[in-house]
């Protein structure tokens, strides 16, 4: 299968990034935009721009029906979601596939499974990927008993959460009930889902993630790791690749476990396994079933164009490299500007 006309369901930097590689591959590019973005640079980068209407993200980039209608109207044969917006929306991915358009991303089933942190952790346990002890909180749960089993300090987390929303650190039993109520309320407001769970809390962990690529032939390649420990309000500020100070044998073991997990869930495309690392141990946090903001630093040390591989995988082509071909050369740092 050949992808000839690619619509990017996103805006700004990531849209420009995907357009750059698509043009190098000889693919016709299509941008979608809100009213306020009509003259934005990313629209000018594309071969064709389509107005979605609306002034807010909800009225434009998050309106899956508008985006899909735009793709159909211009004869796009593929959609790349970038990151954010609809990139991890399993229903949108399935709608794209149902419309006969190629989805440049993992199967909807994988997006759905990894989108729920509790379900993702259960999957990782089955794949023998290390996880932190955790238990779901239900209406009938004995909070004290759960806390005692996990131990203080612990973390109350939203199952559908991200970016620190629906998260509370609890030091003792006296603050437990308030933390659960607050986390559930915040999770419901942010994600429409108030399911929370308790998890063992690590005091001073590092945040280390592994970049994966998986094709439709069942091959999986790990493109090294990144350290994302420097954060502000649970949002990454600085990332390094490769992660410094990780023993080679530990890096190799974790890479193999991530690859096995990909095979077990039938993963396809680019993805990232995120871990907490403390005292020589890794613990799975979540899997991002999309391109990461920090993907360029992995490209810098591997020489692999991850967007190009995403597009080729979506077209049914095999990976251009095997694991033994991957050589990490040099060191790269990405700094995010917060304004």
For residue 237, how many other CB atoms are within 10 A of its CB? 15
Distance of CA 228 to the CA centre of its chain: 14
The Cβ-side half-sphere exposure at 29, using a 13 Å CA radius, reads: 25
Backbone phi, then psi, for 124, in 5-degree steps? -65, -35
> Is there a catalytic annotation at residue 290?
yes
In the block, which residue shows the tokens 């609809």? 86
Catalytic residue among 20, 251, 290, 327: 290
Q: What CA–CA distances, in Å, run from 206 to 92, 223, 243?
A: 33, 19, 10
Question: Residue 68 belongs to what H/E stretch?
Answer: helix 64-73
In the chain, DSSP assigns E strands to: 5-8, 28-33, 48-51, 78-80, 102-103, 134-137, 154-158, 167-170, 196-200, 206-214, 220-232, 235-241, 269-278, 281-288, 332-335
Q: What CA–CA distances, in Å, run from 104 to 26, 157, 217, 225, 315?
A: 16, 30, 16, 23, 8
The Cβ-side half-sphere exposure at 247, using a 13 Å CA radius, reads: 9
Q: How is residue 91 written in tokens?
A: 């229903």
Nearest to 326 by CA among 222, 242, 253, 225: 222
For residue 1, how many other CB atoms are within 10 A of its CB? 10
- Residues with catalytic function: 290
């Amino acid at each position: 299968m050949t992808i000839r006309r690619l619509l990017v369901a996103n805006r700004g930097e990531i849209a420009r990034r995907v357009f750059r590689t698509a043009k190098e591959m000889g693919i016709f590019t299509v941008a979608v935009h809100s009213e306020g973005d009509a003259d934005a640079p990313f629209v000018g980068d594309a071969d064709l721009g389509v107005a979605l209407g609306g002034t807010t993200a909800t009225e434009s980039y998050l309106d899956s029906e508008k985006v899909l209608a735009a793709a159909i109207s211009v004869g796009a044969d593929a959609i790349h979601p970038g990151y954010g917006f609809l990139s991890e929306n399993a229903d949108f991915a399935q709608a794209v596939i149902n419309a006969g358009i190629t989805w440049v991303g993992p199967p909807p089933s994988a997006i759905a499974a990894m989108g729920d942190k509790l379900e993702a952790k259960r999957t990782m346990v089955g794949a023998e990927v290390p996880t932190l002890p955790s238990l779901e909180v239900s209406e009938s749960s004995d909070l004290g008993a759960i806390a005692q089993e996990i131990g203080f300090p612990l973390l109350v987390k939203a199952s559908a959460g991200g970016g620190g929303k629906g998260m509370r650190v609890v030091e003792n039993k006296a603050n437990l009930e308030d933390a659960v109520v607050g986390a559930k309320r915040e999770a419901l407001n942010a994600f429409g889902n108030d399911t929370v769970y308790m998890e063992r809390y690590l005091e001073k962990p590092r945040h280390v993630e592994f970049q994966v690529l998986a094709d439709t032939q069942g091959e999986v390649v790990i493109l090294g790791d990144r350290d994302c420990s420097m954060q502000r309000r649970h949002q990454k500020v600085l990332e390094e690749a490769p992660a410094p100070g990780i023993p080679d044998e530990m890096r190799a073991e974790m890479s193999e476990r991530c690859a096995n997990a990909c095979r077990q869930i039938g993963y396809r495309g680019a993805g990232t396994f995120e871990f907490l690392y403390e005292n020589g141990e890794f613990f799975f946090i979540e899997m991002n079933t999309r391109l990461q903001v920090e993907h360029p630093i992995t490209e810098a040390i591997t020489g692999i164009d991850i967007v190009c591989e995403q597009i080729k995988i979506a077209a049914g082509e095999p990976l251009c490299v095997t694991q033994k071909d991957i050589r990490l050369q040099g060191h790269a740092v990405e700094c995010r500007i917060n304004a």
